Amino acid sequence: MPMSQQISPPPTPPHLETLVTQERVLSWKVASNLFISFKYAWAGISYAFKTQRNFRIHVCVCTLAISLSLFLHLKPVEIAVIGITSGLVLALELLNTAIESLVDLTVKQTYHELAKIAKDCAAGAVLVSALVAVLVACTLLLPPLFVLIMSAIQS
């Protein structure tokens, strides 16, 4: 390929360097060990908890569902199913946050129909998982909860 036809990478905007804080400088590199990988993962979870109202709501509801399943002495497999569905909701909420951040970075606060579709679909995935988690929790928690309430009323 002649020199005139070579494609060079786009220049890095000078303001991009100022966006990277000192504590996140290493995030641009591959984690050097497992501890650093977990540190980055925890940073993502912490970010979502601090900034995303829906993530905090999901954490509270998941904690309530698992606590109630333990209080009602559900079978271990039922507790596991509630834990798995709850974990799926939290994982999808984290992915939704990541997708929203990436889209915002890409479109730079301008409207684009494809950005809307990406954000709406990611939010839709969270909604579907949350509805399934509610269905599972209701199926497993309501019958023993109803029995407990009825026995308390009759005594």
Closest by alpha carbon to 63, among 51, 53, 55? 55
Q: Catalytic site residues?
A: 93
Record the tokens describing residue 49, joined without a space.
């908890």
What type of residue sits at position 82?
I
Dihedral over Cα of 103, 105, 106, 109: its sign: positive
Burial of 121 (0-12, 13-18, 19+ CB in 10 A): exposed
Angle at 112 between CA 108 and CA 113, to 5 degrees: 150
CB 56 within 8 A of CB 105: no
Record the tokens describing residue 34, joined without a space.
């497992």
